[in-house]
Amino acid sequence: MAEKQLDRVKLNLLQEVADLHGIPEGAYSLRVDGKLYGKNSSENIIIEKKTDKPGIDIYIKAGTKRESVHIPVILAETGIKETVYNDFHIGEGADVLIIAGCGIHNCGVQDSEHSGIHSFYVGKNAKVKYVEKHYGEGDGNGQNIMNPTTVVSLDEGAYMEMETTQIKGVDSTYRKTDAVLREDSTLVVHEKIMTHGNQEAKTEFHVELNGDGCGVHLVSRSVAKDNSKQTFISNIKGNSVCSGHSECDAIIMDNAQVSAIPEIEANNIGASLIHEAAIGKIAGEQIVKLMTLGLDEKQAEEEIINGFLK
């Protein structure tokens, strides 16, 4: 479909969640207001629409290098509630970038909700970088709700890096990641979340380290403002000679609430597992230092938060 058929609101959402100014070139799938808007395959990345439920299957051929695929979702109509299933099959030795994300513009009284279940089957020695951004806007009374689920299966020697960001406009979210790692595979996750008002965010990681030499590194950074609530749960099971590291750092402000619930379980004498958690307010001396440079208190807080979430 032609790019001009997307109006200003939808184009803005597309830019916010995927840094796109229109329909991308190459492999892509774009979902708009609960329907598949358009898709395109490339020589090495094949995208097929599911026939039994909403969603797509993405097949990346073995050995594919330096290619990318975009799969954003945008909702601009109030009251849409959908669950979408996307499965990624990454062939042996591939090295690809996958850019996802969901943006909701809700100016109505009904809730708008998108739940995405993304399953990754990463082949032997393949490398994947997965970027996902969630964004909400609109002046209606309806809530923006996003519930992403990520299921990861890493074959021998596979590497997957996840960058997930949610810093504006999402009223409620439950973010769940389940991963199984085999021999010499690696999973790296960087999560950034900011909540304000009465927003609620829950993040839950479950990782099974099943192969010798595998490892996981989870880092969550968050800011909770106003009356918002955040919960971070991580469960890492070391079932082999492996390494696992989980880190949760949060800034708490106003009347917000933040909980960090770590669990590490070593089931092998060769498992090395670490969890770190820190929750606290912005240090007064940091604000004072920035105010001496000409910023007011609010500007100083924003500067600190922006640096923390980079």
Q: Is 1 exposed, middle or buried (0-12, 13-18, 19+ CB in 10 A)?
A: exposed
Q: pTM score, two decimals?
A: 0.94
Q: Which pLDDT score is estimated for 218?
A: 97
Q: What is the mean pLDDT of residues 73-94?
A: 96
Q: Which pLDDT score is estimated for 140?
A: 81
Query: Measured at the alpha carbon of residue 223, what is the angle toward residues 220 and 226, in degrees to the nearest 5?
Result: 150
Q: Which pLDDT score is estimated for 4?
A: 47
Q: What is the mean pLDDT of residues 193-222?
A: 97
Q: Which pLDDT score is estimated for 310?
A: 82
Q: Which pLDDT score is estimated for 2?
A: 39
Token pair 């099943």 is found at 210
Residue 129: pLDDT over 60: yes
Helix, strand or coil, per DSSP, at residue 306 = helix
Q: What percent of the chain shows pLDDT beyond 70?
A: 99
Q: What is the mean pLDDT of residues 181-198?
A: 97
Q: What is the mean pLDDT of residues 14-24?
A: 89
pLDDT confidence of 220, banded at 50, 70, 90? very high
Choose among 198, 203, 190: nearest CA to 170: 198
Residue 3: pLDDT over 80: no
Q: Count of CB atoms within 10 A of residue 225's CB?
A: 18
Q: Count of CB atoms within 10 A of residue 125's CB?
A: 17
